[in-house]
Amino acid sequence: MMNKGLELIEAYHLFPVGLDKIDILIHPQSVIHSMVEYADCSTLAQLGSPDMRIPIASALAWPGRITTSCQPLDLALIGNLTFESPDIERFPALKLARGAITAGGANPAILNAANEVAVAAFLAGHIGFLDIVHLGEAALDGYCPSAPSSLDDLFSIDAAARSYTAKMIDHMNLRTR
């Protein structure tokens, strides 16, 4: 669920409505990519086949549209759309992402960088799946730079957070040998 947490950070920065107005829903069919509730309580949803190329193409071409090689959405074939609220205890990455938003500064960038390094280590078989969240939390706790004031600052924070996380992974692997 770290990806959902990172999407929460993204939505928070793209849509300045306040963190209390942004919710996460678990939607197993992955057909609805986003929803917006308006003041009149109506909701507009962006639907597409469960393929991230569709919402990415939508964002890149906005306000226009571009052709994709994705399959068209067949709601009759899908049959049902289901939703549930996430269990924060079961999915601690969501709490971590909310905390990164609330803390502000470099924290969202640190969490993203740590996650990318941790996922790569998991895919390579160097760490366990649950270590991904623990490494994100450890990076947030152990690496505390000043808030970025430029793109160069952000790149430096990203590189340092990646290095910090890689060192933590190396240390973990040394302990288990």
- Quick check: is 142 in a domain? yes
Q: Of 44, 78, 112, which one is at a domain's C-terminal end?
A: 78
d(CA 160, CA 177): 26
What's the pTM value of the predicted model, to 2 decimals?
A: 0.83
Among 166, 172, 164, smallest CA distance to 140 is for 164
Residue 67 tokens, joined:
């052709």
Does residue 83 form part of some domain? no
CA distance 95 to 87: 10
Q: Two tokens at 15?
A: 């849509």
Q: How confident is the model at residue 176 (pLDDT cuts 50, 70, 90)?
A: low
CA–CA separation, 80 and 127 (whole Å): 36
Same domain for 96 and 69: no
Domain contains 85: no
Which residues lie across from 46 on neighbouring strands? Answer: 34
Helix (H, G, I), strand (E, B) or coil at 85: coil
- Residues 169, 106 share a domain: yes
Tell me whether residue 84 is in a domain: no
What the block records as the tokens of 59 is: 């964002």
Q: Which two tokens stand for residue 96?
A: 């971590």
Task: Indicate the average pLDDT of the chain.
Answer: 92
**Residues 40 and 97 occupy one common structural domain:** no
Contact 86, 26 (CB under 8 A): yes
pLDDT at residue 177 greater than cutoff 60: no
88-143 pLDDT tens trace? 899 999 999 999 999 999 999 999 999 999 999 999 999 999 999 999 999 999 99
- 59 lies in the same domain as 96: no
Last residue of a domain, one of 78, 112, 134: 78
Name residue 45's beta-bridge partners.
Answer: 35
Please tell me the predicted confidence (pLDDT) of residue 34.
87
Question: Which residue segment(s) compose the domain that 43 sits in?
Answer: 2-78
Q: Which of 100, 162, 103 is nearest to 135 (CA)?
A: 162
Q: Alpha helices, DSSP H only, in 15-145?
A: 53-61, 75-78, 92-103, 107-123, 131-142
- The residues, ordered by sequence, that sit 6+ positions from 157 with a Cβ below 8 Å of its Cβ are 106, 109, 110, 113, 145, 148
pLDDT band at 59 (very low <50, low <70, confident <90, very high): confident
